[in-house]
Each structure stands twice: as structure tokens, then as C-alpha cells.
Amino acid sequence: MTAKKSSMFDHLNAIYADQSIDYYDRLSVENRKSYNIWMLNRLISMNPDQVAWVNMFQSHWQALGPRESYLFYSQLFPRRRQFNKYIKPKKEAKILDWVVTLVAQYHKINAAEATDGIEIMLATPEGKDALREILEAFGTDPKQVKKAVK
């Protein structure tokens, strides 16, 4: 019978709840491969109270191995099960190429600056109104304007 493959959440649970000194040593070779320090740092940092510790550890994690990272975190945090809500990145709005071109022409700037400006404009209702005015100044079809400024 083969042992269950450990997931990142199993390792995280070992850091918070198990906290046995020999946890990492007992892992199989396959389970050691699933122990990803970078991902564990990311998951642990979802707890606002632990961000400072993760930030401090990240400057040293390349010099330390996975075993040392487990020992550091397991001895640092209080022994209890905890849930850290995973914060997903925000979806970026798709900016249409023709909108970038028109804004760049209007302000006489390059495409990268226009893209940055459009992202800022789309963040507020006033910015959306300003973008709408720019697109309408070029005689853009109202349906296309509505599609671009949503």
C-alpha cells in the first residue's frame, strides 16, 4: 500500500497543527518534492498577522532548505489549526487595442503610457466618463464606446 501524496495544505497543516520536529524527515521523497517553500510563504502570508514573519523569512529562504523552513515556521506559530483565506488576484480588465491607439493619439503619448492611463481611468466613474469623452471625440460608435468602457 502506498502512502498518500501530501498536498501543500497538508504541509501547511503540519506547520500549524502537527508541529512535530521530525515531520519533514518522515516525508517520502515524493512528498518532499511537493514541499514548495515559495508557495508555503504565499499561503502563510494570507494571514495579516504573519506577513511580517514571512517577509523576514523570505530574505533568507534561499540559504535555508525546506527542512529548516518547516522547523522555523512550526516553532514560530502557536499550535492550532487555522484557516487563512486565499486572496486571489483581481481580474485585469481587457483593454482593447483600438482604445489604446485612440488614447495615445489624443494625449500624444506612447501605447504603454496610454494603457497605464486607461487602467487608471477605468478605476473610477469620473475616469470612465473622461475615457468615454475621448472615444466619442474620435467619432466612435456608441455601442463600441459602451463595450470599451464597462
Instruction: Please indicate, yes or no, if residue 81 is contained in any of the structural domains.
Output: no
pTM value surpassing 0.85? no
Return the residue matching grid coordinates 502537527.
Answer: 18
Q: Is the residue at 92 inside a domain?
A: no
Indicate whether 83 belongs to any domain.
Answer: no
Q: Are residues 109 and 50 in the same domain?
A: no
Contacts of 49 (CB under 8 A, 6+ apart): none
pLDDT above 90: percentage of residues in the chain: 41
Integer-rounded Cα radius of gyration of the chain: 24
Tell me whether residue 54 is in a domain. Answer: yes
Residue % of the chain over a pLDDT of 70: 95
Same domain, 64 and 31: yes
Q: Do 18 and 68 share a domain, yes or no?
A: yes
Residue 109 located in a structural domain = yes
User: What pLDDT, in 10s, does the model give residues 67-104?
Assistant: 999 998 999 888 888 877 776 777 666 888 999 999 99
pLDDT score of 1: 43
* Mean pLDDT computed over every residue of the chain: 88
Please name which of 58, 13, 9 lies closest in space to residue 37, comparing C-alpha atoms: 58
Query: What is the total count of domains within the chain?
Result: 2
Q: Identify the residue with better confidence: 84 or 128.
A: 128
- 48 and 101 part of one domain: no
- Judge whether residue 142 has pLDDT over 60: yes
23 domain residue, yes or no: yes
Residue with cell 514573519: 53
pLDDT for 58 beyond 90? no
Please state the rounded mean pLDDT for residues 125-131: 93
Which residues span the domain enclosing 124?
A: 97-148
27 domain-assigned: yes
